[in-house]
């Protein structure tokens, strides 16, 4: 038989841990919406969409074969372009950018148009082949006037 004192102590501990769990859950971000523009025939773009979905983003995908027009309309400089373009919050995400960089972008909110993994880095998410050697690449922050700076190295 449990004493009244032990029962009250355990009940209070359970209540406090429930409050702590609720506070923790309130700090966990909900799924983040991301809009992705890609070619319907691009397999690596589809893999990147799966990757961001598996990592807590909610992609809305638009297949379009005229990607240059989309990039032109958004102001993506030619030097940082890749195969797909995404928009998350107020930022452009160009190419095979890792989710940790997207999360940092959303958290730090730098004064840039977006971030890009120019070209198609072979070690980027959606591009990497299991067992293949890892090739280093950079993610660049960019402005629509073409200025860039290294945002992350992988």
The predicted-structure confidence for 64-93, as pLDDT tens digits, reads as follows 999 999 999 999 999 999 999 999 999 999
* Sequence-ordered list of residues with C-beta below 8 angstroms from that of 117, at least 6 positions apart, any chain: 82, 94, 95, 96, 97, 124, 137, 138, 139, 140
Hey, where are the domains in the chain?
Answer: 1-28, 31-153
CA 74/CA 63 separation, integer angstroms: 16
Q: Which residues of 103-112 are buried (b: 16+ CB within 10 A; e: fewer)?
A: bbbeeeeeeb
Is 31-153 in CATH node 3.40.30.10?
A: yes
Kindly tell me if the per-residue pLDDT of 118 is higher than 70: yes
Residue 111's pLDDT is what? Answer: 97
**Local confidence band at 98 (pLDDT 50, 70, 90 cut-offs):** very high
**Local confidence band at 2 (pLDDT 50, 70, 90 cut-offs):** low
Residue 16's pLDDT is what? Answer: 39
Q: Which two tokens stand for residue 40?
A: 């319907």
Q: Which residues of 57-84 are buried (b: 16+ CB within 10 A; e: fewer)?
A: bebebeeeeebeeebeeeebbeebbbbb
* Sequence-ordered list of residues with C-beta below 8 angstroms from that of 46, at least 6 positions apart, any chain: 38, 126
**pTM, to two decimals:** 0.80
Q: Please say whether the dihedral angle defined by the alpha carbons of residues 70, 60, 103 and 117, taken in this order, is positive or negative.
A: negative
Kindly tell me if the per-residue pLDDT of 19 is higher than 60: no
Residue 74's pLDDT is what? Answer: 97
CA 27/CA 106 separation, integer angstroms: 15
């Amino acid at each position: 038989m449990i004493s009244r004192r032990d029962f009250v102590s355990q009940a209070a501990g359970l209540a406090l841990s429930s409050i702590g769990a609720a506070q923790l859950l309130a700090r966990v971000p909900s799924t983040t919406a991301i809009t992705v523009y890609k070619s319907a025939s691009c397999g690596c773009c589809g893999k990147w969409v799966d990757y961001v979905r598996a990592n807590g983003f909610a992609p809305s995908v638009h297949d379009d074969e005229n990607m240059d027009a989309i990039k032109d309309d958004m102001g993506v400089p030619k030097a940082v372009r890749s195969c797909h373009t995404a928009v998350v919050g107020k930022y452009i995400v160009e190419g095979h950018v890792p989710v940790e960089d997207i999360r940092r972008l959303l958290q730090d909110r730098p004064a840039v148009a977006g971030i890009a993994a120019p070209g198609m880095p072979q070690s980027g998410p959606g591009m990497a082949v299991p067992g293949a050697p890892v090739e280093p690449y950079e993610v660049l922050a960019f402005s629509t006037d073409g200025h860039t700076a290294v945002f992350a190295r992988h």
